[in-house]
Amino acid sequence: MSPKGKTCSKCHAQPNDKKKSVSCDSCKGLLCGECHGLSPTEIRAFGLKTRVVTFLCDSCKSTMAQLPLIMKKKLDELDKEVQQLRLRQNMLATESAIQELAERGKRANNLIIYDIPESSSDQPLQRQEHDTKEWKMIIASLTKKVNCDDIKVIRLGRQDSKNRNLSRPVKVIMKSKTDAIEVLRNKSKLTKPTKIQPDQTVMQREYLKYLRDELERRTSNGETDLTIKYIHGQPKIVNRTDKKN
């Protein structure tokens, strides 16, 4: 039952009688008649085609005995790794939430205005004065409660040299968040084609998109009088007829 030329894995000798040698069922290593310690009857049993008993060499036996320990060690290692991954995931989520909050805070004083006509002047200072004047006129038409001093007005992006009539959006930095909110609250009074929007982060815009989809879904499911409203600066789906809102 032993392949030709194979030596005993214990004594390293060529087996004298190949019929007496046995192979380990796990590592397939050969053991000669002097080394395996099996009786002639047991050896015969290994020759049977339908045998159910297995034979393991000493080294495989001791490995098998250590298996529960090895498994436990591996499991402990895996457990530690999972915990570390969870911690890292939490850390990243928290970190990005903090960054998002800081970014929202930075943008809270800002407004983005569309369709304020560009000045025809080539002088940057004059262009700026033009934009500031236009913006102050818009504010005056909306509310008297806003402080118009020290407002910064910045055109966003490069001007299209081929189409100078195309006006770029304007970023306005108000003196305070309250001023920005006051303007937004009154923007429905605008008569010009001008559009005023809050300076939102990508996540805020995505969230608003999600709310609009949700509103559409609920409305098509038969709910009525739903609308999106800003409550303490946060957009929410509310019932128009609910007095609390």
Tell me which residues touch Zn ion (CB under 5 A).
8, 10-11, 24, 26-27, 29, 32, 35, 57, 60
Structural contact between residues 130 and 119, judged by C-beta atoms closer than 8 angstroms: yes
For residue 124, the SS3 value is helix
Gap between the Cα atoms of 192 and 127, Å rounded: 20
Structural contact between residues 179 and 111, judged by C-beta atoms closer than 8 angstroms: no
**Nearest approach, Cβ of residue 69 and Zn ion (Å):** 19
Q: Which is nearer to Zn ion, 54 or 84 (CB)?
A: 54
Report the sign of the C-alpha dihedral through residues 10, 33, 3, 23, in that order.
negative
Closest CA to 182 of 167, 172, 170: 172
Q: Which is nearer to Zn ion, 27 or 190 (CB)?
A: 27
**Nearest approach, Cβ of residue 21 and Zn ion (Å):** 8
Q: What are phi and psi for residue 195, nearest 5 degrees?
A: -120, 135
**Nearest approach, Cβ of residue 54 and Zn ion (Å):** 10
**Nearest approach, Cβ of residue 67 and Zn ion (Å):** 14
Q: Which is nearer to Zn ion, 70 or 101 (CB)?
A: 70
Closest CA to 112 of 46, 172, 43: 172
Gap between the Cα atoms of 32 and 14, Å rounded: 8
Tokens of 184: 């937004």
Q: Which is nearer to Zn ion, 60 or 208 (CB)?
A: 60
**Nearest approach, Cβ of residue 11 and Zn ion (Å):** 3
**Nearest approach, Cβ of residue 63 and Zn ion (Å):** 8
Q: Which is nearer to Zn ion, 9 or 194 (CB)?
A: 9
Alpha carbon distance, N-terminus to C-terminus of the chain? 88
Q: Which is nearer to Zn ion, 39 or 163 (CB)?
A: 39
